[in-house]
Structure 1
Amino acid sequence: MDSYDPAVAKAMELITEEASRQGFQVTQHSDGTWRVTREGQVLLLQVVDALGVLKALSLLISAGLDWPHQG
């Protein structure tokens, strides 16, 4: 999404790369929406700010993402 803050775009890039490594199927649509699927579970993420990044990461962790930087 062209209106992304560069830091938000980089954060989502890192998060979705890790999700892909862990078996999630990740695609980004032209409107900036991220579609993340795994084992029949589908998440649609529209992230435009830092709070959205945190919410997306939280949802992915709830869906089984083993985030390597957790406490």
Structure 2
Amino acid sequence: MHTLLLIPLLTTDRTSLKLTDERKRLFNQTSEIVAADGQNKPPRSNVIDTALTHLIESKGLVETLKR
């Protein structure tokens, strides 16, 4: 028996970032944190996704604590 797996096609907006020394340092630090989940060197997209998710969750927590 075969199962057909349908994966939706996701379009992405591409952008390039200027990686200053400070931004490279921040990427490296964040990559080490994300890599602690089992990957040796995660893709930058994973690092960005993780940081953005954390920021959004932190904002939600701060707003909840203010109430």
State the TM-score bracket (shorter-chain normalisation).
0.3 to 0.5
- The structure having more radius of gyration, on CA atoms, is 2
Which one has a larger percent strand, Structure 1 or Structure 2? 1
TM-score by length of 2: 0.39
Tell me the TM-score normalised to structure 1 length: 0.37
The structure, 1 or 2, with the larger RCO (C-alpha pairs under 8 Å, 6+ apart) is 1
**Structure 1 or 2: larger helix share?**
2
